[in-house]
């Protein structure tokens, strides 16, 4: 399948949504110090919002991969981003649509940490 085709993007999007909403698939969740320092209740609330996020549009998802979002909790702006690594976590995945070649990393951070 040609990279960047609509079908390719649909596969990437489906895998991103699956990982983000359920943790299913090969990947890691990274929560930055700024999020962690606000305590367990804050972390759990943020993660629940990330899992349920559905406000993807052309401003935050121009490639239709559902790999970035921004939320606000308690007046704090928060970003989440999914990046695609090879299985050794040594570089970019050769094909983010192929789960046998890709380790997703979902990073959740305060916008001020970006």
Supply the mean pLDDT for the chain: 96
The DSSP secondary-structure symbol of 112 reads G
Of the pLDDT bands very low, low, confident and very high (cuts 50, 70, 90), residue 94 is very high
The DSSP secondary-structure symbol of 4 reads T
31-78 pLDDT, tens per residue?
999 999 999 999 999 999 999 999 999 999 999 999 999 999 999 999
pTM, two decimals, is 0.94
Q: What is the pLDDT of residue 4?
A: 80
Report how far apart, in Å, the C-alpha atoms of 62 and of each of 10, 28, 67, 77, 95 are.
Answer: 13, 24, 10, 20, 19
């Amino acid at each position: 399948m040609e990279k960047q085709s609509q079908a390719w993007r649909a596969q990437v999007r489906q895998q991103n949504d699956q990982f983000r909403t359920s943790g299913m698939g090969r990947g890691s969740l990274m929560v930055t110090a700024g999020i962690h320092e606000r305590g367990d209740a804050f972390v759990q609330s943020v993660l629940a919002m990330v899992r349920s996020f559905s406000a993807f549009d052309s401003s935050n998802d121009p490639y239709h991969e559902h790999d970035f979002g921004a939320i606000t909790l308690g007046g704090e702006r928060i970003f989440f981003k999914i990046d695609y690594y090879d299985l050794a976590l040594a570089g970019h995945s050769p094909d983010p649509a192929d789960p046998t070649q890709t380790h997703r990393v979902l990073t959740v951070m305060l916008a001020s940490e970006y």
